[in-house]
Chains A and B, each alone.
Chain A
């Protein structure tokens, strides 16, 4: 006998699949209740946006490969999109692009600055996520240039911090950034 009596084929993702189905059912139920009770306020869409956000975070977090900078990047993008969606659903008064997204970007850049300073030896692991955050951080600047944003102070601060972050990163870890770009974009 050279094999165990019972061999199995792992079905480890079954729990996730069940939870996904439950989420879809809840989302449909919310839409139906919304339609039947208060059709003039689309609160179900906002709640469903929250469900999508939670799923993005859960799926990303259970991936043990991902490092802390990856989480900062995903949270930054996911929360920004969620606030934009909620703002849009509530009639788009602009609070998302004027206030929340710049604040999210400031927090993300400060987090990355701390990460860079505290653990610049491990920086190569963070480089690509850092660059994506910096790219994402240019959005308030672009919106500012297009004159779409009313509250300019927060957006200027957000863009300023991201530029500072990029400069500091290049000073401290230019070689790592170059190496990360080479390995990620090698053809």
Chain B
């Protein structure tokens, strides 16, 4: 009976997830990565065992993508997940054919465990739940005596509903028309390579510094990011369009939902440097605070979410065959992306329970850069370490360097780790 149920299991993609497989390819992977740095070397066999055990707990990840006539959909995947040593650049397109059809990929290197997740499967917040389950299970297998009782005590509660459709407001009017954004200029890195630079920041010092400006950590870091882009790219190339930073928002904070599928929206901080007289950091941080205040409201978030759901549920769009949808979206995707300069996703604190903390150094989050959004930023924190990550296809790291120096000048401890793609320049920062 159980086998029969598994065989029949399938589910529609949620409203956000629909666009990703249509647009995804080698240039737009729409993949994000979560990594954990352990205090000991990773045992690959135990890790593979842990992944497959975690999949039994999180069955919604045990799926493969199938093609329907109008939309893609997810179907039960009877195969086992594969774990490999890290060989490729982070956040690359996941080819299901070489991955037992899974939409996530677990890799390891020395003390580090990575999971690359295709965004159609879930968002960063729910992805971190599954990742934490893998880490917990791995540590339990590695140290069975230490974690004898923990596994029994852990409770999981989630569903796979489309919380967008459940919570959106049919009557809500769409957001106002938006202008194109400043696009980062500069030579790109050699084909296919992605630079990852992690800035490991002392969280308490960062909190104190943010407080001085009356800003939250996300607001403060967004301001530093805008300031760095302004000083190192915008001024040099005499930008005119606004610097727009897309900030994903976890909708579970605003609506009741236990979904493991995507449930996020976004706000766009739109810094019109000339028009708003944003020449100094102080001016930028004041502007960002006010922009957050006006946009991060339930009403505004509902507007953005509802207008996106209305597109996905529009009957005229629904009945267009998938192949035609793919053609239209791929033709227009580069233009669509021109409304954002960069994205900064802060998934916040990685809450780790009990004794597991003792085995973990810190967590990382990375999101895939794209031909238009050449730099993307992400952050997460664990204990007193916040890791701010730049993933980039730009052939210089002046923005990263300015960001680093800015925090250093304010007496905040920052350490750098990188994947060595822009090696010489990374060493300069160190």
Contacts and interface: CB of A to CB of B under 8 A. Distances in A.
A65 B86 CA distance: 24
Nearest to B12: A186
Contacts, number: 76
Contacts of A121: 4, 7
Interface in A1-24: 1-5, 7-12
Contacts of B69: 184-185
B71 interface: yes
Contact of A2 (B87, B109, B421): B109
Given A183-B10, A183-B75, A184-B69, A4 B87 contact: yes
A56 to B, nearest CB: 17
Contact of A65 (B12, B96, B109, B318): B96
Contact of A9 (B4, B86, B92): B92
Contact of A4 (B66, B97, B109, B192): B109
B193 A187 contact: no
B112 interface: yes
8 contacts: A1-B110, A2-B110, A4-B86, A7-B421, A8-B87, A8-B88, A10-B88, A183-B66
A59 to B, nearest CB: 12
Contacts of B159: none
Contact of A187 (B8, B87, B88, B318): B318
Interface size class of A (residues with CB under 8 A): 20 to 34
A65 B92 CA distance: 21
Interface in A65-96: 65
A8 B421 CA distance: 11
Contacts of A4: 85-87, 109
Nearest to A64: B97
Contacts of B191: 9
A157 to B, nearest CB: 31
A12 B110 contact: no
B192 A187 contact: no
Contacts of B196: 3
Interface size class of B (residues with CB under 8 A): 35 or more
A11 B93 CA distance: 12
A5 B420 contact: yes
A65 B421 contact: no
B7 A183 contact: no
Nearest to A125: B7
B68 interface: yes
Contacts of A183: 10, 66, 68, 73, 75
Given A2-B417, A124-B8, A7 B89 contact: yes
A116 to B, nearest CB: 16
B226 interface: no
The 10 closest A-B pairs by CB, nearest first: A9-B192, A3-B419, A187-B318, A187-B70, A184-B68, A185-B69, A183-B10, A7-B89, A2-B417, A64-B97
A63 interface: yes
Contact of B193 (A9, A64, A124): A9
Contacts of A65: 64, 96-97, 101
Given A184-B69, A185-B70, A2 B37 contact: yes
Contacts of A186: 12, 68, 70-71, 73
B296 interface: no
Given A2-B112, A4-B109, A65-B96, A185 B68 contact: yes
B98 interface: yes
B315 to A, nearest CB: 8
Contacts of A9: 88-89, 92, 191-193
Nearest to B35: A2
A10 B418 CA distance: 20
A13 B35 CA distance: 28
A2 B364 CA distance: 11
Identify the interface centre among A3, A9, A179: most chain B CB within 10 Å of its CB. A3
A69 to B, nearest CB: 14
Nearest to A5: B420
Contacts of A5: 420
A12 B26 CA distance: 12
Given A7-B87, A7-B88, 8 more contacts: A5-B420, A8-B89, A10-B92, A121-B4, A185-B70, A186-B68, A186-B73, A187-B71
